[in-house]
């Protein structure tokens, strides 16, 4: 394994040299320094492996056995407007950003009716014109903790940049479509997303990850979110990557006092999927909602790691993750809630429920509560089971056939997460994805 790792590191270091040549003229920018540091860390880090507690149930060796080519160094893939249209979630009015293999495609984007002062653009462009806007936020937030983070940092170039200044409300959601895959190369796509809502700002974002075709590719994302005082951010992530692809995201959220951050993690596609969501509640009266729905079928592996850090008093966190696993799929849930000494009057709820539809599917679930304050209300629970027999009988006893009865039970199981989705027009489309993914009759 040692030499294998070495070869892999050499491959990416090599790619980095080529990448740097492309970036001529920016060698002194803070971003370039960050890239170089990240590459150094990538070289130093041991690749994540199952001996490490954080990766205990998720084997990422298949990802690192493969030499992916950073998409900027690969042949550019052209997509059609029809394809873009097909991949967007519809039936509601929204702003649109489109990225193809990590690169912004302004021609397909629609950002013409944003309130004054709101900046929604490609990170690469913002780095050119107002680097200080990024500089002040980006280095503070996401720490480089493992090889995936380091790899993203080394090649960090583009991604969605969303900046909502104080008091501004973006009424229409911003849908960001990330299309991935190439016929000519196995591409590495590394979006670097940054969402900043300043005091009392409000914004709703849909991150839509999908394949162009059925190619093998690897999406490795870092998303950083800054929720200023009294701001409200809704962030929907709908991960429906190709079945041959790998998908890793680390999201770091920093919340200031009285902010409300809600994340809806809807995970459908991908072969190996790892989602990390970390939120630091760094002020009083903060609300943090983490809702998740993960579906697994065939040989899929879906790992959700969450970390909610209650650093200050009087905050509320709500976490509800539900999964349905069929075929030989495997799920992992690791939800950590930390309540620091200072964080009195914390309310923290966490629940993880999984239904196994086949005898060969499996979930490893690990809720972790670490409480250092005494006046708090915290609860957590994890259940793993099958569809409810009694309910199954009840439905069939009305003349409903077994396949539809099962679909109804699946729908019933996910209904509480489902009803959290505030963009109601999305619900039907998510519903379709659920049943498509499980290859069952839609109800």
Partner 1 sequence: MIQIKNLHATVDGKKILNGINLEVNKGEVHAIMGPNGSGKSTLANVLAGHEGYEVTDGEVIFNGKDLLEMSPEDRAREGMFLAFQYPIEIPGISNSVFLKTAIDEIRKYKGEEEISAKDFLALIKEKAKILEMDNSLVSRSVNSGFSGGEKKRNEILQMLMLNPALALLDETDSGLDIDALKIVSKGVNVFRSENNGVIMVTHYQRLLDYIVPDFVHVLYKGQIIKSGDKNLALELEEKGYDWLKNGELETA
Provide, rounded to whole angstroms, the least separation between the CB of residue 394 and partner 1. 4
Distance separating alpha carbons of residues 135 and 93, to the nearest angstrom: 32
Decide if residue 391 touches partner 1 (CB under 8 A): yes
Provide, rounded to whole angstroms, the least separation between the CB of residue 223 and partner 1. 30
Select the residue interacting with partner 1 from 31, 395, 423, 434 (CB under 8 A). Answer: 395
Provide, rounded to whole angstroms, the least separation between the CB of residue 443 and partner 1. 7
Looking at the Cβ atoms of 311 and 408, the one nearer to partner 1 is 408
Residue 285 and residue 258 in contact, taking contact as beta carbons nearer than 8 Å: yes
Looking at the Cβ atoms of 189 and 408, the one nearer to partner 1 is 408
Residue 323 and residue 296 in contact, taking contact as beta carbons nearer than 8 Å: yes
Provide, rounded to whole angstroms, the least separation between the CB of residue 391 and partner 1. 5
Structure tokens at 227: 């929720």
Looking at the Cβ atoms of 349 and 394, the one nearer to partner 1 is 394
Decide if residue 408 touches partner 1 (CB under 8 A): yes
Identify the H or E element spanning 411.
helix 402-418
Residue 194 and residue 224 in contact, taking contact as beta carbons nearer than 8 Å: yes
Q: How many residues bind partner 1 (CB under 8 A)?
A: 26
Distance separating alpha carbons of residues 130 and 133, to the nearest angstrom: 6
Select the residue interacting with partner 1 from 53, 112, 374, 399 (CB under 8 A). Answer: 399
Looking at the Cβ atoms of 373 and 443, the one nearer to partner 1 is 443
Q: Which pairing describes strands 377-385 and 260-267: parallel, antiparallel, or unpaired? A: unpaired
Looking at the Cβ atoms of 20 and 425, the one nearer to partner 1 is 425
Provide, rounded to whole angstroms, the least separation between the CB of residue 52 and partner 1. 38
Looking at the Cβ atoms of 51 and 398, the one nearer to partner 1 is 398
Residue 258 and residue 158 in contact, taking contact as beta carbons nearer than 8 Å: no
Distance separating alpha carbons of residues 350 and 282, to the nearest angstrom: 19
Provide, rounded to whole angstroms, the least separation between the CB of residue 154 and partner 1. 44
Select the residue interacting with partner 1 from 404, 425, 429, 442 (CB under 8 A). Answer: 404
CA distances, 279 to each of 75, 85, 361, 438 (Å)? 37, 33, 30, 31
Distance separating alpha carbons of residues 383 and 365, to the nearest angstrom: 9
Task: Please spell the DSSP secondary structure of 193-239, one letter per residue.
Answer: EEEEE-TT-EEEEEEEEEESSS--EEEEEEEEEEE-TT-EEEEEEEE
Helix, strand, coil share of the chain (percent; to 5): 25, 35, 35
Looking at the Cβ atoms of 25 and 399, the one nearer to partner 1 is 399
Select the residue interacting with partner 1 from 115, 393, 424, 436 (CB under 8 A). Answer: 393
Task: Please spell the DSSP secondary structure of 343-362, one letter per residue.
Answer: -TT-EEEEEEEEEE-STT-E
Interface with partner 1 in residues 178-197 (CB under 8 A): none
Provide, rounded to whole angstroms, the least separation between the CB of residue 435 and partner 1. 13
State the Cα torsion 209-254-228-90 to the nearest 10°: 10
Interface with partner 1 in residues 360-389 (CB under 8 A): 388-389
Select the residue interacting with partner 1 from 285, 336, 380, 396 (CB under 8 A). Answer: 396
Select the residue interacting with partner 1 from 136, 402, 424, 439 (CB under 8 A). Answer: 402
Interface with partner 1 in residues 1-60 (CB under 8 A): none
Interface with partner 1 in residues 409-428 (CB under 8 A): 409, 411-412, 414-416, 418-419
Q: Which pairing describes strands 119-122 and 160-164: parallel, antiparallel, or unpaired? A: antiparallel
Residue 168 and residue 115 in contact, taking contact as beta carbons nearer than 8 Å: yes
Identify the H or E element spanning 188.
strand 187-189
Beta bridge partners of 307: 278, 336
Decide if residue 440 touches partner 1 (CB under 8 A): no
Phi, psi (deg, nearest 5) at residue 151 = -65, -40
Structure tokens at 395: 């439905």
Looking at the Cβ atoms of 80 and 390, the one nearer to partner 1 is 390
Select the residue interacting with partner 1 from 394, 420, 435, 442 (CB under 8 A). Answer: 394
Total residues belonging to the chain: 443
Looking at the Cβ atoms of 369 and 404, the one nearer to partner 1 is 404
Provide, rounded to whole angstroms, the least separation between the CB of residue 320 and partner 1. 13
Interface with partner 1 in residues 194-233 (CB under 8 A): none
Provide, rounded to whole angstroms, the least separation between the CB of residue 400 and partner 1. 5
Looking at the Cβ atoms of 3 and 397, the one nearer to partner 1 is 397
- What is the contact surface with partner 1 in residues (CB under 8 A)? 388-391, 393-402, 404-405, 408-409, 411-412, 414-416, 418-419, 443
């Amino acid at each position: 394994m040692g030499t294998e790792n070495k070869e892999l590191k050499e491959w990416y270091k090599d790619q980095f040299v080529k990448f740097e040549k492309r970036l001529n003229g920016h060698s002194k920018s803070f971003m370039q320094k960050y890239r170089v540091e990240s590459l150094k860390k990538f070289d130093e880090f041991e690749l994540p492996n199952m001996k490490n507690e954080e990766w205990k149930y998720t084997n990422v060796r298949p990802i690192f056995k493969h030499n992916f080519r950073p998409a900027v160094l690969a042949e550019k893939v052209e997509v059609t407007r029809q394809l873009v249209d097909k991949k967007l979630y519809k039936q509601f009015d929204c702003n649109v950003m489109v990225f193809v293999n990590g690169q912004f495609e302004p021609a397909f984007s629609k950002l013409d009716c944003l309130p004054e002062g709101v900046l929604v653009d490609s990170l690469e462009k913002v780095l050119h014109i107002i680097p200080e806007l990024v500089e002040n936020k980006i280095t503070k937030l996401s720490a480089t903790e493992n090889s995936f983070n380091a790899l993203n940092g080394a090649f960090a170039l583009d991604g969605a940049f969303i900046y909502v200044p104080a008091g501004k409300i973006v009424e229409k959601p911003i849908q960001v479509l990330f299309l991935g895959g190439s016929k000519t190369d196995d591409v590495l796509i590394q979006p670097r997303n940054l969402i900043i809502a300043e005091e009392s700002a409000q914004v709703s974002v849909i991150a839509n990850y999908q394949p162009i075709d059925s190619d093998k590719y690897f999406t490795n994302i870092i998303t950083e979110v800054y929720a200023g005082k009294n701001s409200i951010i809704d962030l929907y992530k709908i991960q429906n990557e190709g079945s041959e692809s790998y998908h890793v995201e680390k999201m770091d959220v920093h919340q200031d006092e009285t902010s409300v951050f809600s994340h809806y993690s809807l995970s459908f596609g991908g072969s190996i999927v790892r989602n990390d969501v970390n939120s630091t509640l760094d002020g009083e009266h903060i609300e943090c909602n983490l809702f998740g729905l993960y579906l697994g079928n065939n040989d899929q592996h879906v790992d959700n790691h969450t970390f909610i850090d209650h650093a200050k008093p009087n905050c509320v966190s709500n976490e509800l993750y539900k999964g349905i696993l069929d075929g030989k799929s495997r799920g992992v849930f690791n939800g950590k809630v930390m309540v620091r000494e200072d964080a009195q009057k914390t309310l923290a709820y966490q629940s993880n429920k999984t239904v196994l539809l086949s005898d060969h599917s499996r979930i490893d679930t690990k809720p972790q509560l670490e409480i250092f304050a005494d006046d708090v209300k915290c609860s957590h629970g994890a259940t793993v089971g099958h569809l409810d027999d009694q309910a199954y009988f009840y439905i069939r006893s009305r003349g409903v056939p077994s396949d539809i009865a099962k679909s109804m039970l699946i729908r019933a199981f996910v209904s509480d997460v489902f009803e959290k989705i505030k963009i109601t027009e999305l619900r039907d489309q998510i519903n379709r994805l659920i049943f498509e993914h499980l290859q069952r009759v839609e109800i």
